[in-house]
Amino acid sequence: MDLKFLLYFSHALIDDDPHEHNKILQACHKRNVPIGLTGFLHREGDFFVQYLEGPEDQLNNAMQRISKDPRHTDVQVAIEGPLEARQLPDWQMGFVNGEQLSLIDVVGMRDGKLDIKSADPWDLVEFVLENADALSEQALVA
């Protein structure tokens, strides 16, 4: 099985509301677990950043579906490539709201918007993986 990863960002069209976010997580669990996708979703302000990994065909199909989702727009893949081993093998999907590491601290702001396009894509991957690790450690303590 060829593993692949990708990280995309998009502009959120839904309110920054925990109820709406839980709907997204439930849909992610329902769709992604059976097809072997793992990942992590970050919402900060008006932006989503999501890291996904899994079988290449399944990941490509998921991105086609994700790009048509009406809860966001301007879906742009920042980085993608082959993966030797999963980075998030125990996560089906996680979600943080900006209270953990701040995406703004990683990429900065320009004209009131996240300056994601000028960021190093690997910095974005590291950002998501660090947030996933922090949430995993918090869950173990709780």
pLDDT of residue 118: 65
Which distant-in-sequence residues (6+ apart) come within 8 Å of 107 by Cβ?
114, 115, 116, 118, 119, 123, 124
HSE-up of residue 69 (Cα within 13 Å, Cβ side): 20
pLDDT in tens, 57-110: 999 999 999 999 999 999 989 889 999 999 887 765 556 665 666 776 777 666
Give the chain's domains with CATH numbers. Answer: 3-141 (3.30.70.100)
Q: DSSP per residue over 72-122, as a string?
A: EEEEEEEEEEEESS-S-TT-S--EE-SSSS-HHHHH-EETTEE-GGGS-HH
pLDDT of residue 23: 87
Determine the Cα–Cα distance for residues 11 and 31; give it in Å rounded to an integer. Answer: 22
Determine the Cα–Cα distance for residues 125 and 78; give it in Å rounded to an integer. Answer: 9
pLDDT of residue 88: 84
